[in-house]
Structure 1
C-alpha cells in the first residue's frame, strides 16, 4: 500500500507522469512491432509520430479543461482521436512512410494511459481553497472540481495551502481584512466567492452584473481577427465532406415536401445589425404573415427529414457561408429573431450585451444548457452567453468544439 501511495504522489507531478507515459507507450509499441533487432523506417517514423501526438495531447488537455465546469476524463478520447487523425492527414499529404497498425496501437495506448492516470490524479487536480466563512461555503463544496475548507479564527497564513476565497462584497472584520491583505502580499491567490461560483456553473450572474464586469465583456480585437481566420480555415478544409452532405440533404428535403430546400430568415447579429441566416428547411412551408414562434411550438410542422437533420445539426451547415461572409462566427451566442430580441430586451436585464460579438453556429450556452424556449430559459441562456464573452479565448472555443461534437453524436438540446 505504501508503494502504491508513493507512486500516486509521483504521478501527481506532470513531468514525471508524462515522461513515464512516453516511455511505457514507446516501449510497448517496440515490443508489439514484432521486430527484435533493427526496426524498419516505417516503425521508427511511427514511434516519433506517436511521441509527438502524446506530447500534443499532454499540452492541450490542461488548456481546454481549465474550466471548473468540465472534467478532464471526458475530453481525453476526443482529443486523442483528433490529434491522431490530424497526424494521419499530415502523413498522407507529406507521404511520410509509417506503420498504420503501430500508429493505431499508439493511439489506443495513449488513450488508456491518459484515462487511467486522470482517474489516479483526480484528487490532486481539484482546486483546494480555504475560505473565510462570510458566505455559504456548502454551495461551492457541492461541485466536484473544488474543495473549500473553512478557516477558523484567529486566521493563520501558514494554514493556507492553496488559494483563499471570500465574499468581498460582505462585511469583514478588521482581522479578516488584514488577513486578506497579508495573503495578497505573500502571493496567495484571493478569489471572490461569486467568481468561483461563476467558474463552476459556467455562467455570469446577470442580476448582479456590475460596471467592472461589463467592462470585461469587451472581446480582445487581436483574438477576434485570429478567430475569424482559423474558423474560416476549418470550414474551407471540411468542404470536401460537408458540401456533398449539403447536396444530399437539399435533394431529400425537396423529395419529401414541396417548397425551397433552404430556409432564409433575418436574425440579429453583432451590434444589433440584421442579417440573413441560411438553414436547411426542416418544417413544412410557413404561411405568409404567420406569427414568429419558438421551435418547440412548431413541432407539428417538422418533417421526417427535418427531424433527422435537426438532431444531428445538419440543418445548420449552410451557416458555414454566413461565417465566410462575416455575418456569423463558428462559435458564439446563437442569433435570435428581431421580434424576440425586442421582447427579451424589455424583460431581461443586459440582454443586449450578447450582441457584443458575432453570433455563432454553436456556442457555450448550446453545449452546456441546450435549447431555450421561454423568457426564463432565455435568461439562463444569457448568463451562459455572457460567461462566454467574458472568458472568450482560443481554448474556450476549442472546449466548445469538442462539446459540440458530443452534442452532435447525442442529439443533446435538439428541437
Structure 2
C-alpha cells in the first residue's frame, strides 16, 4: 500500500475496468499452453500478473478505504461542527432577537392583531413588501427602527458564518456518506480476514490494518452519535422559534439555513444603505446650518478658549516692535535722533524700524533714489533757432515797438 506508486484514481481505475474476469484468465492460460514458444503481449501479461495476486479485489478495496477515510471523515465532521456552532450563536444573538421582535410588532400594528409569532418563511418576503408613499421596502423601515432603538446591534450576516456554510451543504448526501463509511468499514474487516488466510497471522500488514480499522470503527460510531445529537439540537431550535412539531420534523436543515443566511445578507446590504443615507442627511444639515456664514464664524474656525494665551504669546513675540503698518505710510515716517539723554528717557517707548536695524547708509540710499527719480540740477535744454530768418524777426520787433509808442502818444 505505497501511496507514492499508486493513488486513489489508479486504484479505482483497476477496480472498475482492469480486473480480469475468470473467462479472460482461462483464455490467456489456454493460449499460453497451446503456443508455448510465442510470448504473451503486454496487455495479456498484465492481466495474467493481476490474476496471480491472491485476494486482489479485497486488497484494493481495503487500500481504497484507507485512502479515502480521512477525506470522508472531514466532509462529515465539518458540517456537523458548523451546524452545532451556528445553532449556539443564533440562540444568543441579540440582533436576531431584536429583528424578530420588531417584525412581530410591525405585523401586529399593520394587521391590527396580537399574534404571538409568525412563520419563518415570512423572512423571505420582507424585502419585497413596500410602502405606498416612498416605495421603501419593509426591510428598509426595519433597519431604520433598529438603528434608532438599538444602536449597538450588528449587521447579523458577519455573526452567522457557520449557518451560511451549512446552507451550501447537501445534508441528504452527508447522511449517505456517513452510512457509506459504516458500510465500508464493516466490509474492510471481511477483506482483512480473507487476506490474512493467505498471508499468515503474523504479517506486519495485518497488525497495521487492525489498528487502523479499530480506530476508524470507533471514530465512525462517535460521528453517528454526534450526528444524532446535532439533529436533536436543530429540532429543539425550531421548536424554540415557535414552529409546530410536525413542521419541525419536515423542515430541512439546508432550507432553514438558507432562509436565515439570505435574509441576513439582505439585512446587511440595506443597513449599510440606511447608514449612508443618514450620514448624507447629517452632512447636509450641517452645511445648511453654516450656509451664509464667514469661515471664522463656524465652530471649527472660531476663536478657541485659549485666546488669552494666544494674545499673550503674540505680545511676547512682538517685544515692543512696531511695524510699518502700525506707524502708517512709509512717507509719513519721521526719523528721530536720540542722544544719550533721550535714550535713557525713552527706554519704554516703541522701537522703530530704523532703530531696529543699522541705518548709517540711509542718506546714501536716499541720494541714489533722488538721482534716479527726481530732477537733475542742470538747466533745461533750449531749442535752437534757425539763423536764416533771424534778421527779419528783429526788424518786426522794432516796428512793433514804434507802433506801440505811436498809439500811446495818440491816447495822451
Q: TM-score range by the shorter chain?
A: under 0.3
Q: TM-score, normalised by structure 1?
A: 0.18
Q: TM-score, normalised by structure 2?
A: 0.18
Higher relative contact order (CA 8 A, sep 6+): 2
Structure number with larger C-alpha Rg = 2
